Chains A and B, each alone.
Chain A
Amino acid sequence: DAKTTQPNSMESNEEEPVHLPCNHSTISGTDYIHWYRQLPSQGPEYVIHGLTSNVNNRMASLAIAEDRKSSTLILHRATLRDAAVYYCILRDVTSGTYKYIFGTGTRLKVLA
């Protein structure tokens, strides 16, 4: 699986938007971009995923660069509950493997 690069940590104020970046310059054409998050003392939680087009769901939005070498997870209004480690993971579903390879992610701190 292609590697991703994320900042170690970020801070945001409550009720403000948060943009979490992810670089994946070696992404292949069949790599999907997945985002998970892990709240303290919990298992990873699916957030969103996409291939080429921007995606929205009830939790977040995913903005994918035109060349697909980077993406941004957007939390529209951060709450204290959004404080977590956010993981950007690439997975090639044509490879026959369905495991996730987690990196160290971005630890998001939300300030009240």
Chain B
Amino acid sequence: EPEVTQTPSHQVTQMGQEVILRCVPISNHLYFYWYRQILGQKVEFLVSFYNNEISEKSEIFDDQFSVERPDGSNFTLKIRSTKLEDSAMYFCASSRDPPSYEQYFGPGTRLTVT
């Protein structure tokens, strides 16, 4: 069964450094998403992406965040200058067209900012 994959599984970085989290969505999906979950808290929506542009973003997704689909398979989330409060699990998800279909989530990347 196809699945969303994410790399790395765990990333440790120092405050102020840039990080790139990578995702490979399911191959025939056209809508892509990033969510995050701070330890012990709810899963929070960050951004959705379709047709090479952001279709929706939350208040969390400020200028420090960016997303990109650099090729036909990868979908990345970049945090330019990490803060301690960016420490969280980051989940990538994808869905078919139309996006009313269910979203398939990856296993997540645990980001630890020290």
Contact surface of A with B, Cβ cutoff 8 Å: 32, 34, 38, 42-46, 49, 87, 93, 97-104
Among A46, A103, A104, contact of B103 (Cβ-Cβ < 8 Å):
A46
Residue of A nearest to B31 (CB): A98
A98 and B48 contact, CB distance less than 8 A: yes
Residue of A nearest to B89 (CB): A43
Tell me the total A-B contact number using a CB cutoff of 8 A. Answer: 53
Question: Chain A contacts of B102 at CB under 8 A?
Answer: 34, 46, 49
Interface string of B43-64 (1 = CB under 8 A from A): 1110010000001101000000
Q: Determine if B99 is an interface residue (Cβ-Cβ < 8 Å).
A: yes
Among A46, A87, A101, contact of B104 (Cβ-Cβ < 8 Å):
A46
Best-buried of B35, B105, B108 by chain A (most CB within 10 Å):
B105
Question: Chain B contacts of A97 at CB under 8 A?
Answer: 56
Among A44, A46, A49, A98, contact of B99 (Cβ-Cβ < 8 Å):
A98
A43 and B48 in contact, given A49-B102, A98-B95, A98-B100 (Cβ under 8 angstroms) = no
- Determine how close the nearest CB of chain A comes to the CB of B112; give it in whole angstroms: 15
Question: Chain A contacts of B98 at CB under 8 A?
Answer: 93
Question: Chain A contacts of B43 at CB under 8 A?
Answer: 38, 44, 87, 100, 102
Question: Chain B contacts of A87 at CB under 8 A?
Answer: 43
Q: Determine if B25 is an interface residue (Cβ-Cβ < 8 Å).
A: no
A42 and B108 contact, CB distance less than 8 A: yes
Question: Chain A contacts of B4 at CB under 8 A?
Answer: 43
A43 and B56 contact, CB distance less than 8 A: no
- Determine how close the nearest CB of chain A comes to the CB of B105; give it in whole angstroms: 3
A100 and B100 in contact, given A43-B91, A45-B105 (Cβ under 8 angstroms) = no
Instruction: In the A-B complex, list the 5 residue pairs whose CB atoms are closest, starting with the nearest.
Output: A43-B105, A98-B99, A46-B102, A102-B43, A99-B45
- Docked pose: A43 CA to B43 CA in angstroms: 9
A43 and B33 contact, CB distance less than 8 A: no
